[in-house]
Amino acid sequence: MGMMGLRVVALSASPRGERSRSKKLLRSLLDHFQGHETLRLDLEDHDVRPCIGCFTCCREDRCPLDDQANLIKERLSSADIILLGTPVYFISPPAQLKAFLDRTLDWAHRPHMFGKPVAALITSAGCGEDTCSRILKFSAESWGASWAGHVHISIHEDPDGEDVGERLEAFAARIANAHRQLKDHPPTPEPGPFHRQVIEPVIRAHPDFFSLDHSYWKDRGWLEGCSNDK
Ligand SMILES: Cc1cc2nc3c(=O)[nH]c(=O)nc-3n(C[C@H](O)[C@H](O)[C@H](O)COP(=O)(O)O)c2cc1C
């Protein structure tokens, strides 16, 4: 695929074990990255509890919930390319994946994944993949990463069929291309519109409560150029 020594990490969100289509398809997608270091993570094998909204991750860079969310976060952080495989549940990712995404609030406050493509493989019975994709895109961009798009495979399609195979191959090529573009033209590590509109005002309004975030932003020069800078 013309890339050397990449680390591709694929997180599968379906709770259905070996019966899962999205997991099977995610594996097929990952097969297109042969020759690279690939890692498959099944969310269902990990203990990831829902966020309790204490903001400790923003304030102290740690989470009081003693589970495996951090392990997954470390794996994703170490990736060059992140793939998310998920079914649609009520036009969104399943609660298990949403719980994990909520646990990345510190990444939204202190984005660090600049230049990293994130792509999703979504399965559904035919509705809600656009909303689901939007949630995943929002998450990726909140981490500072670059959204490389999604591929949707419906339950009415044959996962072993030629058509699906071709779409997965094309999608893998698109992801590899996104990675190449980001390598050739690395984006400036800076807050995006979401960070500017949502995170920055909160950090500015509560610099003592969010002192860790505040220093993170200040150290990177992200708080410069505004009259009420603290
Ligand atoms: C709780 C639940 C909610 C679902 N909600 C939707 C939905 O909103 N839209 C849709 O098209 N399919 C929905 N489905 C169907 C799944 O998205 C579909 O079966 C998917 O392919 C399962 O993926 P998996 O085999 O990887 O688990 C839902 C299924 C379940 C169990």
Q: What are phi and psi of 176, to 5 degrees?
A: -60, -40
Mutate to test the pocket of ligand 1, among 19, 28, 89, 92 (most ligand atoms within 8 A of CB): 89
Report the residue count for the chain: 230
Tokens of residue 188, six digits = 């400036």
124/199 same-domain check: no
Structural domain count, the chain? 2
* pLDDT for the residue 66: 96
Locate the ligand 1 atom nearest the alpha carbon of residue 125 and give its number: 11
29/122 same-domain check: yes
135/196 same-domain check: no
157/204 same-domain check: no
138/199 same-domain check: no
Place of tokens 């392990």: 71
18/120 same-domain check: yes
Would 229 be classed as within a structural domain? no
Element spanning 123, H or E: strand 117-124
Closest protein CA for atom 24 of ligand 1: 20
In short, whether 123's Cβ falls inside 6 Å of ligand 1 is yes
Does the pLDDT of residue 1 top 90, yes or no?
Answer: no
Closest protein CA for atom 8 of ligand 1: 90
187-197 pLDDT, tens digit each: 999 999 999 99
Would 134 be classed as within a structural domain? yes
% pLDDT > 70, the chain: 96
Would 2 be classed as within a structural domain? no
180/210 same-domain check: no
142/176 same-domain check: yes
CB 47 within 8 A of CB 68: yes
In short, whether 126's Cβ falls inside 6 Å of ligand 1 is yes
98/203 same-domain check: no
Would 47 be classed as within a structural domain? yes
Closest protein CA for atom 2 of ligand 1: 89
Would 230 be classed as within a structural domain? no
Locate the ligand 1 atom nearest the alpha carbon of residue 15 and give its number: 27
Range of the domain at 140: 7-188
Domain CATH for 48:
3.40.50.360
Rounded Cα distance, 211 and 209, in Å: 6
Rounded Cα distance, 147 and 27, in Å: 20
Give 175 Cα–ligand 1 centroid separation in angstroms.
25
Would 17 be classed as within a structural domain? yes
108/176 same-domain check: yes
Q: How many CB atoms lie within 10 A of CB 159?
A: 15
Per-residue three-class SS string for 180-206: HHHHHCCCCCCCCHHHHHHHHHHHHHC
Q: How many CB atoms lie within 10 A of CB 57?
A: 24
Indicate the pLDDT class of residue 3, thresholds 50, 70 and 90.
Answer: low
Indicate the pLDDT class of residue 225, thresholds 50, 70 and 90.
Answer: confident
64-119 pLDDT, tens digit each: 999 999 999 999 999 999 999 999 999 999 999 999 999 999 999 999 999 999 99
58/157 same-domain check: yes
In short, whether 16's Cβ falls inside 6 Å of ligand 1 is yes
Would 118 be classed as within a structural domain? yes
Report the pLDDT averaged over residues 152-176.
Answer: 97
Rounded Cα distance, 24 and 157, in Å: 13
The chain-wide mean pLDDT, for the chain, equals: 96
Report the pLDDT averaged over residues 165-175.
Answer: 98
Indicate the pLDDT class of residue 229, thresholds 50, 70 and 90.
Answer: very low
43/147 same-domain check: yes
Give 43 Cα–ligand 1 centroid separation in angstroms.
16
Would 1 be classed as within a structural domain? no
CB 217 within 8 A of CB 203: yes
Tell me the pairing of strands 81-87 and 146-154: unpaired
